[in-house]
Amino acid sequence: MTKVVLALLLSFLCNYIYAQNTEVELQYVEENDSIIFQVKSTAIIPIDVVSKQVDTLFSKVVYKELVTVQPYDSVRGFIRVHIDDFEKLKQARRERDIYTVEAHYGDRRNAKHDSTYVYTFPFKKGKKVEIQQTFFGKSSHKSIASRYAIDFGMRTGDKVYAAREGIVVFALDHFTEGGKRKELTRKANKIVILHADGTLGAYAHLMHKGTLVKKGDSVTKGQHIGYSGSTGYSGGPHLHFVVREPGDISVPIYFEGYEGLVLKRGKRYKRKH
């Protein structure tokens, strides 16, 4: 007999990390003498699910470190537990972490950043914008996911343009709050676009109802896609732009007219094309 139970983000077993978890559903299946975990995706691109054991006391647990779930598909058996150990795992989870499970957009095994690509500035042609924070910014660009991010000093309501062509993976614009409070970290309105090389461009802190594109849309380089704002964890209006390889690994990028140059904090740059 097989019994499927929604695992509610596996809170009884794992630390689960995924910014847009509405597109990933984690379940466990009770089958014969085992508990088998499965993941389902409603995303339009592949999703990598990374599992890591952080407690070695349960050595009988079988798991895969990396599985890739294809669009609108599922993967079964990325974690397998004998039913006799399952209750012990749940009890231990109340005291400590057993596993971490992370889900990230993209397929890291089939994506590689094209370092020769030159981006266009994500603001209006002919306009000059000041850089508030750049590569390895001391304020918040310290993690592997943001070390190559750039904060453009744009006002709430300024038009945001696509820096590179691609497919919209998701677009959020229902959040209303902004400020330097940790609980707002995952509440930034944003657009994420998949590029031809498998990288993903993220445009964050957009204003409430500030997106003009939706999941699945094709966008061209320089297309008007939304409006800047200050939603989420933000000290004020700006556009946070970053390009990442799958696994939330940010990569260095360069812009038309400034090829090979790292933008400097406090300097104003003009979009010429």
Q: Do domains 2-109 and 118-270 have the same CATH topology?
A: no
Rounded Cα–Cα distance for residues 55 and 46 (Å): 29
Residue with tokens 């000059």: 128
Domain ranges of the chain: 2-109, 118-270
Distance CA 175, CA 188 (A): 7
Task: Please give the CATH architecture assigned to the domain spanning 2-109.
Answer: Sandwich (2.60)
Give CA angle at 208 (175, 44), nearest 5°. Answer: 70
Residue 86 has pLDDT above 80, yes or no: no
Burial classification of residue 232, based on how many CB atoms lie within 10 Å of its CB (0-12 exposed, 13-18 middle, 19 or more buried): buried
Q: Tell me, what amino acid is at 114?
A: D
The band of 243, judged by pLDDT with boundaries at 50, 70 and 90, is: very high
Q: Whole-angstrom Cα distance, residue 175 to residue 19?
A: 14
Please give the pLDDT value at position 1: 40
Architecture label for domain 118-270:
Distorted Sandwich (2.70)
User: Which pLDDT score, from 0 to 100, does residue 54 have?
Assistant: 65
117 or 50: which leads in pLDDT: 117
Longest dimension (CA), the chain: 67
Q: pLDDT tens, 1-32?
A: 444 444 433 444 444 444 455 788 888 788 88
